[in-house]
Structures are given as C-alpha cells and as structure tokens.
Amino acid sequence: MLLNDIDFDKIIAIARDAGSAIMEIYAGEFNVELKGDNSPLTCADRASHRVIVEGLTAATPDIPILSEEGRAIPYTERIAWSRFWLVDPLDGTKEFIKRNGEFTVNIALVEDGLVTAGVVYVPAQSTMYFGCMGAGCWKTVDGEESVKIKVREADYNAGLTVVMSRSHPSPELEAYLQKIKVTEAMPVGSSLKLCVVAEGKADLYPRLGPTMEWDTAAGHAVVEAAGGTVAQVDGTPLRYNKENLLNPYFIVKGK
C-alpha cells in the first residue's frame, strides 16, 4: 500500500521485526530499570527502538523520528517538522513485565500536527492493526490476509461497552462512568484499548489520566481510519508535536 511517497508495507514489516525482537527477550529473563518518571524500562524497549529507528531511517531517510526512547529532541528543532514518525517501541511495558501479552509496537505518521497513518502491532498475539486516513483500516492475524475493520454504532439507550486501562485507573474516570450507561467494562492494556474500539468490540474509551503523545498516535490513526473519533474532552482535536508532549485528557468513540 502506498501512502503518498511511502511504501506502507515496509512500515508494517518494520513493526513486525520490532515485535520479533521484543518476543526474543519476552521468552527469557530480563531486568527492569526505572526511568526518571518511575516508569519501567527493559532491554526489550531498547531493542525495539533500535529496530524501528534503523528501519525507518532506511525506508524514509527524509522523515525525522521522535521515539519514546529517543525523546530528547528540543522543541526548537521539532517545531520545523511538517511531518515525522512518532514511535512507541514498546507500549505497555507494565503488561510486558506481567507477561499478559497486552503490549504493542506503535508507529504513527504525523503531518502538520495531525496523525495521518498508524501501525499497532501486538507481537504476543501476532496481530497487526494499520490504518491510513482516507483509505481505511485493516487487521491481520498471523500474517494471514488482511481484513478491513470499522467501528460499530453505539446504542446509548441499551448501554455501552467501555474500555479502560488495566494499569492506570483514575478517580476522574470513575466520575465520568457514573454519567453514562455502561453494560460492560473492558480492562485492556496499552494502545490495544484504541484498537478494540476501532474493530467494533467496544464503543468508548475515555482516557482521563496522563498519557504521552507516543502512547496514542498510532492507535489514534487506527481509530480514525476505522471511522471513529479521538478528541479532547471539549471536542477539539488531539494534536501532536506540542512543546509539552503530555496529552490532554481525551475520549475515543466509535460511530
């Protein structure tokens, strides 16, 4: 699949290669470090980062890269980027450490502050989600033929299936959920939360807690390519490449 001047099949292959590097480490023993914000870091994060940066640099040498594990790029440099790759080499490190399989590789293309394409790979499940604005969204399992996916239409009277973080509950979320009719609460790790909305397994994902831009960009692209929306609580678009890379609270909705 071509996205303007980008062979998107190469980007999908890079995500799969990064997932393979992660799974080699997942199969054995590994040490866990703490970063400055007390979030965990493993050698799998670093291995995935290396694979992705090397792959993207070879495939698209003119497009800069901002990765969680290479975030120290000053805003004075980033502000000149009209498009760039926004990468989370291993989203859901806590899920990786727990060995529950709900961790992902995330690669998104950002243009003029908005996501235009994204890949989310779930290596422990051999599942790939990818979407491009204006083209659609697909899912493939075990390398089989890709199936087009789309969000489902919510029935607010019957009640909603709501996705929530497995690792980051918040009082704000509890208050929000009391205002709507919830028939099922679905705890899910990492950017998989956005993907289950994209494929029509859930209606809503309110994120009323802190996230960073690399946590959401690829899943954001997948949701919107599948016909859903990702917006701030007041309805304004969720934008990327801000000076402060912390996201505001946001709501993910199906149709």
Over residues 89-124, the pLDDT tens digits come to: 999 888 888 888 999 999 999 999 999 999 999 999
Would you place residue 175 in the very low, low, confident or very high pLDDT band (cuts 50, 70, 90)?
A: confident
Q: Angle formed by the axes of helices 8-26 and 43-59, to 10°?
A: 160
CA atoms lying within 13 Å on the CB side of residue 24:
11
Strand pairing partners for 33? 41
Give the pLDDT of residue 238.
96
Would you place residue 169 in the very low, low, confident or very high pLDDT band (cuts 50, 70, 90)?
A: low
Question: Higher-confidence residue: 141 or 43?
Answer: 141
CA atoms lying within 13 Å on the CB side of residue 131:
30
Give the pLDDT of residue 41.
72
Q: What is the pLDDT of the chain when averaged over all its residues?
A: 91
Task: Using the predicted structure, report yes or no on whether residue 19 has a pLDDT greater than 60.
Answer: yes
Please tell me the distance from the alpha carbon of residue 141 to that of residue 131, in angstroms, as a whole number: 15
Q: What is the mean predicted confidence (pLDDT) over 12-34?
A: 88
Give the pLDDT of residue 214.
97
Distances (CA, A) of 61 to 2, 57, 193: 16, 5, 31
Q: What is the mean predicted confidence (pLDDT) over 145-164?
A: 92
Q: Burial, 248: exposed, middle or buried (Cβ in 10 Å; 0-12, 13-18, 19+)? A: middle
Share of the chain above pLDDT 90, in %: 70
Task: Using the predicted structure, report yes or no on whether residue 167 has a pLDDT greater than 90.
Answer: no
Task: Using the predicted structure, report yes or no on whether residue 10 has a pLDDT greater than 90.
Answer: yes
Question: Which of the residue ranges 40-44, 47-51, 62-66, 189-193 would you say has the lowest mean pLDDT?
Answer: 40-44
Strand segments, DSSP code E, in the chain are 2-3, 6-7, 32-34, 40-42, 65-67, 83-91, 104-111, 114-122, 127-132, 136-141, 147-148, 160-165, 182-188, 204-207, 229-232, 250-253
Strand pairing partners for 107? 87, 119
Q: What is the mean predicted confidence (pLDDT) over 127-149?
A: 94
pTM metric for this prediction: 0.93
